[in-house]
Amino acid sequence: MPQSYEYDVLIIGSGAAGLTVALNLPEHLKICVVSKADISSGATLWAQGGIAAVLDDQDSTENHVQDTLAAGGGLCNEKAVRFTVENSKESIKWLIGTGVNFTRDTDAQLHLTREGGHSHRRIIHAADATGYAVSTTLTAQAQARPNIELRSGRVAVDLITNRKLALPGNRCVGAYILNLEDNHVELFRARFTVIATGGASKAYRYTTNPDGASGDGIAMAWRAGCRVADMEFNQFHPTCLYHPHAKSFLITEAVRGEGGLLKLPDGSRFMDRFDKRGELAPRDIVARAIDHEMKRLGADHLYLDISHKSAEFIRHHFPTIYEKCLEFGIDITREPIPVVPAAHYTCGGVVSDERARTDINQLYVVGEAGFTGLHGANRMASNSLLECLVYGRAAAADITRREADIPPPPDAPAWDESQVRDSDEDVVISHNWDELRHFMWDYVGIVRTTKRLQRAKHRVDLLAAEISEFYSNYRVTNDLLELRNLVTVSDLIICSALQRKESRGLHYTLDYPGLLHEARDTVLIPTTYRTPSP
């Protein structure tokens, strides 16, 4: 029989955001962290660059704020930016206290690097594998806490709310979660629920993200009645390793920060023609420049060259990239790295406030799944892990303040599998998945037009109807759930992009190349939305 569980706090997602919440909650609370695959399998694990924070005497909070606002294309919420930056030092101090081993100079001072859009060196890092260091350390800390249960092989199906239970109020009381080991849907009830599921970059054919980045939390929150905002701003990382056997391996922006040069096939540079900052321009500008030159030349890829630096310097600063490229026969100390842009980060998400609260009571969202207003129209490098830490700690603080006043969750029915059957048409799911990611890449990619977006909208509507029929009649599987969520978030991306009649930040359309005078967020409101209580 499917299992039923009850917790004080249910956290869906085990990356930096979710584990930060768990580790900052009081130890008398019963906490469960669920993860699709291994606990350390999310996007955090693969983050190479680092975490932005004001840690140097030559830097200042105001500098970091202004750099973020500039990168955000006039759309950042300045209050959210200041809140994040002002809490950066304390958050890094907490992270160091957990045992993360950051790179230090010969005098034992933290080594700070610089990335695109930053006016100062303020990126704290663990060589070129910061995410790995953060993820493994936080996971070990969580495993050591007796009040924290870590459950892997679990895929969230849908949130459970008072509305779904036909009860008064606007409260989240847990989630239905598929156990991949026995393929049964389990009931997880909780006083507080936290979405920390990451972004939706798997909607695109080429991405730097792990397979689980299918927008699950965003889609579930939308279906439950939460607003989403700025979903049109999909960040494409300019430099993903281009090789037929390399699966979505990212070449960190820090390579350009440390002097790496972008080059055409003939070895000539080109970034200076697009931006006076050259290789250190914000990511959206660099990605569009590479995309433009690839289309102009009919090239499959361009190059990123740091071979003019000493071999010792390269191996010390970028050991992971050096070793990975060597696996594919590329010696980056002697030759340039073939690169191509790839979907990397979802700047929009579920609307939340400075306490990480959503539109539904006792439901929080942290990390890439959320929309705080920090990133605006373009996320600045290394602000994402910082957002995970700051808002993860803010969510934990808010839950801690409120936990004594929130009653246990009400009873909820077990998942009903009596009216469905196993599917013998897995090929349909596979085909639809492939079709979705192809038309999202072709029609809703780095450069857009209204006609392309309308074509994408027509196709996503057809897919949504097919998936709805499939979901109603067949037993749920991981592939079906991910495809259902990807169709939902793709529709949100397309609808948001169609509403924005300008080119701003990461949203660039040939039909509206200029900026509107007033910068406004694109906020989508579901039919199930209720005005949140104070």
Cα-Cα-Cα-Cα torsion 104, 109, 113, 118, nearest 10 degrees, comes to 150
- Residue 244 to residue 527: CA distance in whole angstroms: 44
Residues constituting the chain = 534
Q: What tokens does 514 get?
A: 């200029």
Burial zone of 402 (CB within 10 Å; 0-12 exposed, 13-18 middle, 19+ buried): middle
Residue 430 has a CB neighbour count (10 Å cut-off) of 12
Please say whether the beta carbons of 288 and 446 come within 8 A.
yes
Tokens 């085909």, residue located: 431
C-alpha R_g of the chain: 22
- Residue 193 to residue 200: CA distance in whole angstroms: 20
Q: Read off the amino acid at residue 242.
A: Y
Q: What tokens does 203 get?
A: 């909607």
> CA nearest 223: which of 426, 416, 457, 464?
464
Burial zone of 368 (CB within 10 Å; 0-12 exposed, 13-18 middle, 19+ buried): buried
Of 283, 288, 452, 484, catalytic: 283
Distance of CA 47 to the CA centre of its chain: 11
Distance of CA 456 to the CA centre of its chain: 22
Long-range contacts: 214-217, Cβ < 8 Å, 24+? Answer: 214/482, 214/483, 214/485, 214/486, 214/489, 215/346, 215/369, 215/485, 215/486, 215/488, 215/489, 216/12, 216/155, 216/156, 216/481, 216/482, 216/485, 217/12, 217/13, 217/156, 217/350, 217/365, 217/369
Please say whether the beta carbons of 33 and 142 come within 8 A.
yes
What is the edge-to-edge ordering of all strands in the sheet holding 228-229?
370-371, 349-351, 228-229, 523-524
Burial zone of 169 (CB within 10 Å; 0-12 exposed, 13-18 middle, 19+ buried): middle
Does the annotation mark 283 as catalytic? yes
Please say whether the beta carbons of 127 and 113 come within 8 A.
no
Q: What is the full DSSP assignment across 368-396?
A: GGEE-SSSTTSPPTTHHHHHHHHHHHHHH
Active site (catalytic) residues: 283
